[in-house]
Amino acid sequence: MSKRDYYEVLGVSQDASEKEIKKAYKKLAMKFHPDRTQGDKSKEETFKEVKEAYEILNDDQKRAAYDQYGHAAFEQGGHGGGGGHGGGFGQDFGDIFGDIFGGGGRGRQRQQRGSDLRYNVELSLEDAVKGKSLEIKVPTYVSCEPCDGSGAKKGTSAKTCSTCHGHGQVQMRQGLFAVQQTCPTCSGKGKVITDKCTSCRGQGRVEKTKTLSVKIPAGVDTGDRIRLSGEGEAGEHGAPTGDLYVQVNVRDHEIFVRDENHLYCEVPISFVTASLGGEIEVPTLGGKVKLKVPKETQTGKMFRLRGKGVKSVRSTSTGDLMCKVVIETPVNLSGDQADLLRQLEEKMASSNKKHSPKETGFFDGVKKFFDDLKG
């Protein structure tokens, strides 16, 4: 006898979503389950057919194979018929209502992995750019040595839970309904420790401050994280260890401001150098370099020093250093020096040349503004 199409069995279309398939299965399972049909063999066979269809269509890989090859994909030792999927009717019905009431799942609980930890480290800009190795002390939980993380006293071991017989869950029936719940005796572990380790009191882990060596790669910046696998907290009763994340924060620098691969700084120059031009020394992370300032340079002029920036951990190229020159006004002038400046100003004022084009343009704009207001 040929099998019916699985989509037809569940009453859904071929493009039905996972949610629609599950909804259809629950509806049919409640209708045809043997606990409700009182020994009706035909309905029992229908339930097996529904269950088989659901197990195929609810699995992405099996569904894809069925869509391409049909029932032939599961013949000759393939997925097989409805009765060969393991588990009894009671277990199936428990799964159906477990989804509704929050029980769900079979077997014991998976061991809970230890918690991840975070350690904040503060670096100077120089260390962040060049990289650095450092030692950190991390308070955490580590696996208990005397019991090797099992929680049981040396020479003993955990025993199978007598309540759930190692399954980690118990099934409670209330008339038609069957609901699976976490075993209250073993908390879902399937085993209980009757003779606990005195060092860890049955937890399988103890508190300890670990000293770790951390290599900070060159080019890190604020917000970057370095993952140390397996250096977090040990899980209870031999469960896997979590990870440690080293969170980087780079302190503000007195001279430089970093923006990804580029560095920025301000360099003060005298008004004489700005007017006549000259050569000045500019700081970089690798030492001082010479910068030629052309004559008539205005304050705020930006100079780019290529390749004098930073190479970040996510880049293959090195950024630039951007130097902004700021003209510094002389202070603490003597009488003679002040007289010389006045003489210079008088000579420039009597000249036919415009020595301060921005100043002239600004006041011309101000005059036009007030003239327009009057008009």
Q: Look up residue 215 and give its two tokens.
A: 């290599």
The yes/no answer on whether domain 6-86 falls in CATH 1.10.287.110 is yes
**Euclidean distance between CA atoms 375 and 294, whole angstroms:** 43
Buried b / exposed e over 40-79, threshold 16 CB at 10 Å, is: eeebeebbbbbbbbbebbeeeebbebbeeeebebbeeeeb
Q: Which CATH number is 257-328 given?
A: 2.60.260.20
Give the pLDDT score at 41: 83
194 pLDDT band (50/70/90 cuts)? Answer: confident
Band the pLDDT of 211: cuts 50, 70, 90: very high
Among 127-131, 164-168, 227-231, 308-312, the least confident range: 164-168
Q: Range(s) for CATH 2.10.230.10 in the chain?
A: 117-250
326-342 pLDDT, tens digit per residue, is: 998 888 889 998 899 88
Residue 246 has what pLDDT? Answer: 93
What pTM did the predictor assign?
0.58
- Selection from 31, 156, 9, 49 nearest residue 96 by Cα: 31
242-284, pLDDT tens digit by residue? 999 999 999 999 999 999 899 999 999 998 898 899 999 999 9
7-21, 104-118, 183-197: the lowest-pLDDT one: 104-118
> Start-end ranges of CATH 1.10.287.110 in the chain?
6-86
- For CATH 2.60.260.20, the residue range(s) in the chain are 257-328
Q: What is the mean pLDDT of the chain?
A: 82
Question: Over 80: is that where the pLDDT of 86 sits?
Answer: no
Mean pLDDT of the 286-304 span? 91
The fold of 117-250 is: Chaperone, DNAj Protein; Chain A (2.10.230)
pLDDT band, residue 190 (cuts 50/70/90): confident
C-alpha dihedral, 9 to 10 to 16 to 20, nearest 10°: 180
Burial of 362 (0-12, 13-18, 19+ CB in 10 A): exposed
> What pLDDT sits at residue 90?
45
Annotated binding site: 144, 147, 161, 164, 183, 186, 197, 200
Write out the binding residues for Zn(2+): 144, 147, 161, 164, 183, 186, 197, 200
Integer angstrom CA distances of residue 153 from 45, 82, 146, 250: 52, 46, 8, 47
pLDDT at position 88: 45
The span from the CA of 338 to the CA of 130, in Å, is 48
